[in-house]
A and B are shown apart, each in its own frame.
Chain A
Amino acid sequence: MAKPKVAFFDFAGCEGDQLQVANLEEELLDLLGQVEVVSFREVMKEHSDNYDIAFIEGSCTRLQDEERLKQIRKTAKLVVAIGSCATIGGINSLRNDKDLDDVRKTVYGEDARLFDSYAARPIDAVIPVDAYVHGCPITKDEFLSVVKSLLLGKKPDIPTYPVCVECKKNENVCAFERGQYCVGPVTRAGCNSCCVNEGTICWGCRGLVDNPNENSEKEVLIKYGLTVDDAINKFKLYFGWQERKR
C-alpha cells in the first residue's frame, strides 16, 4: 500500500504545535517511514496539493480563510485539528467577548478598517473535523498516539474526565489549597496535569470536558464552594468559544 500523504496547514496560531512536531526529531524520522509528508512549511520548501491527511493548526479568524479550509476538506480524507486554537478556538477566543471594532482599533489605530476579522473560532465551526489533538501546545506523545490510531483506522482515545483526576494521581498540593485558582475541575485531562506538576495551575488549555455538568470534578468544586459555572467563568482564557456555544 502507498504511504498516506500528509500535509500541515496553519491559520491564526503561533506555530507552537507544528514546532512540537518538528521537535519529534528522531521519532519524526521514524514516522516518515510510515507516512509521506508532502507539505510542511516549517521544514520544507516542497508543497503538493495531493494529500490524504491534513493537520490544521490555528483558529479561523477571517471570512477569507473559510475558502481555504473548504478546499482542504475537499482534498483530504482525514482532517485533524492540532492545538487549542484549532480544536476549541483557544487563546484567540479571548477577544470574542469584546467589540471587534475596538479590538482592531487598539492594535491598528486609524487603519483598522484594513484588517478584516471576525470572532475567532475552531476549525470544526467551519468544516467537519475527524480527529482532535488538544493542548496549547499539543504534546508530542499525544500527537504520535493520535496519528498511530488514525493509521490503524481506529478512533483516537481522548480522555473525557477532568484534569483533577490526573492531578490527584500525581499527588500535587491542590492550587486552591495554596490560595490560587485553577480550572482543572472542568478541563479535559490528557496532559497528565503537567502545569500543576510544574508548580502552577491548570489554565484550561485542553478545553472543557464534554458535558461539564456531568463530567466535572464535583468533589473539588464542593470542597471549595464552587458551582460548575463558577469554575468555567473563573477566568475564561481558553473557553471563550465553547462557553458561548453552551
Chain B
Amino acid sequence: MSEAQEFKYIGQRTVRPDGFDKVTGRAAYGADLTLPGMIWGKTLRSPHAHAKIRSIDISKAEAHPDVMAVATFKDFVTLQSESIAAGEGSADVLDLAKNCLADDKVLYHGHAIAAIAARTEQAAKDALSLIEVKYELLKPVMDVEDAMKEDAVVLHDDMFTAGYEEKPARASNIATRVEMKMGDVDAGFADADVIVEREFRTPTAHQGYIEPHACTVTYDEDGQSMIWCCTQGHFDVRTSTAKVLGMELSKLKVVASEIGGGFGGKTVIYQEPVALILSKKSGRPVKMVMDRDEVFIATGPTSAAKLKAKVGIKKDGTITAMQGWMAYEAGAFKGSPMMPGVMTMFTPYDCPNVLVEGFDVVVNKSKVAAYRAPGAPQAEYAAEMVINELAEKLGMDPIDLRLKNAAKEGTQTIYGPKLKKVGLVECLEAAKNSPHYQSALPEGQGRGLAAGFWFNVGGQSSVTVNMNTDGTGTIVEGSPDIGGSRASMQMMAAEVLQIEPKHLKPIIADTENLPYSQGTGGSRTTFATGMAVIEASEKVVAQVKERAAAVWNVTAEQVDYADGVVRNTAGEDSMTLAEVCKGAEKTGGQISGSANINARGAGPSFAVHICDVAVDQETGKVDVTRYTAIQDAGKAIHPGYVEGQLQGGAVQGIGWALNEEYIFNEDGVMENPGFLDYRIPLASDLPMIETIIVEVPNAFHPYGVRGVGESGIIPPLGAVGYAVGNAIDRKVEELPCSPPRVLALIQNG
C-alpha cells in the first residue's frame, strides 16, 4: 500500500449495520434461543479445590421424575492425549474434556462433575442435590510459588516439566520452563551506571464479560446436531466438541449467536459438549446458561503471576541490559500465556542484551483462558515499572527515556524476527505533545506512564461476497462480531466496490456455510478477515469488468471500474454495478467472490498511556482523575470503534490495576464470585478516557490496518501502578492497588 491513500469510505464514522437490532433488544445472544420441546441443563460443581473423586452415584437423580438426562465424564468417548487448536493457542483434548466434566479428580472449586437436564432450569438445579459424590480431600495448591516448591502437592502425577534437556525424575506442577535470550546480559549489567531490580505480583483477574456462557443444542436421532452458542470462534467450538464426542465435523453445525463480550474468554468449550450429551440422552433440545458465580469460578480468569524485572542503564539513558523472570499460573491444566509474556516483556525497547525466563505452573484454580493480549499485561507491567523508576533515578523524563531506547524498524526482538515498521516513536511523541502530558499535575496527585506492545495475529479467514440482482450485496464472513467489526467489513467492501456501505450487508455465517475461519481474537479480525473481504470484493470487481467487456466485445483490460460504474475505455459505453448485476443471468450467471486466506504480516500495535490519580490518604481509595490512551492503529477503518477499543482496553486495565482480584479462603474456595465483590469499574469510577489514534500504516495490509483490540490493556497496569506510587511516594509492587493494600503501603512505607 502507498503511504498516503485517499479513501472514499474508510475512516468515516458510519452507523454499524447490526446496530438497530442491538439498541432495540432484538439481537439474539447466547441465552436468547428457545426451541420447541426444549429442556434445561444445569451443572453440578465441586465444592472443593482439590480432591480425588471416589465415586459418583447418579442413580437417585436418574430415577427422579423431573430428570430427563444425566451426564458425567464417562459419557465422553475414550480419548487419547492430543494437542488441538483451541482458544488463542492449543490445548490437549483430554484436558479439555476433563475440564468440561471432571474425571477422577476435581482440581478447583467450581470444577464441573456432572450435569442434569430437566423440564425447567429450577428443576434441573434442584435435582443436582440428588447426585452423590464421595471425595478424598487433598491439600489445595493456591499460589504459584507454593506450587513450584520441591515438596509441593502435585496436581497431575504424569506431568513432568518440559524445557529441560533431560526429562526430570519427578512429576511437578511446573508444566514448562522457557528461556529466551540475546546478547550477554552480564556484560550489559557491567556496563550500566544504574541498575534497578524489583519483584512484582499480579492477581487472578477475570475477563468479566457481562453475558454468561450460554448454549442451546440439539442432537438428532440420525446423528446430526447443532450448537447455538456465544463464542468468539464457532469453528473452534466445532473442532473441540467433535473431538471430545468422537463426531465427524460434517455432523455438527455450530451457529455463533451475538456475543455479549469475550475478551479471549469465550474461545474454549465448557458446557457445549455436555449439553449435547444431555440432548442425545433425552432426545430433546437442551439449553444451558451459566449463573454469574459459575462464570467466575469455572471459566477463564487470566494468570496470576509472580515476576522479576532487572534493567541496567547508563547515565545518558541508554539501556544496557534487561532481565526478566516470570511464573504464571495456568490454573488446573497446563497452558498459561507465559510464552507471550516472555516474548513481549521488553519488546518496546531496543536493547542488545536481554534474558527472560518463564514458568507455566498449574495450581488449584480454574484453567485460565485468553484475556486481551494474553500474558503481556503482567510481564510488561513489571518492565514498565522498572523503566519508570530508572527515569526517576536519572532525573530523566520518562518519555525521553523511552524515546532514546524505543523499538523501531529493524530492532531485533527476543523471539526471532526484526521488527518491521512500527509506531512506538510516533505514539511516544503524540503522548509528549498531548494536552494531558502538557498539563501540570494537580497538587497532591500522582502521574504514571507506560508503553505496551502486542504482536497481533493474522491467520485463517474465509469470506464470500454475494452480489444481488439489484447491485447490493451480502458479505458472508466467519468472524463473530464482538465490538462492531461488521461495520469495518462493510466499509472495506464498500471501498473496493465503490458503492455506499449501506448497500452491503455483513452476516456471520455458521460452520456449514463457509470453510474454516479462526475465531475473533488476537486482534485479527479487522486485519485478516478484512483482507479476505477486500480480496473477495476485488474478485467481484474483476467479474463485473469481464461481464461488461463481454457485452461490449472488448477485453477486460479495456474496461475501467470507478464509483460503482464500469466504463469502456475503447468507446462510450458505461454500466452501473446494478446494471451488470441485473444482467448477470445473460452474461454467465450470478456474481460473487470468495477468498479463503491465511493472512500473514499482522503489524504490531504499540500503545502509550498516561494516568493521573488522587489517593485518599485515610482510606487508600484511588480515583483516576485523568487518563489518555494513545495507540497506533495503522489505519483506523472506523475511528469510533477504534477509540472504543482503546477506551475499553484502558478501563479493563484500570480495573485490573485498582480493584479486581479473586479472593480465596484457606480451602481454596473463591469468596467473591459476583460483581458486588469482584468489582469491575463502574461509570461513576471513571473520567472520560481521552484517545489519540496514531496511524503508521502496516505495509502488509492493503489499507494499512493493524489490529487494535489488545495492546490497550497492557499499559494501564504500569501507568496506574506507577501513578499510585507517585501519589503516595511509595514503591508499588503488588496489584491490585485496592484500598487495603494502598493503605498498608501508606502506613508501613
- Whether A associates with B in a native complex is no
Interface residues of B (CB under 8 A from A): none
Interface residues of A (CB under 8 A from B): none
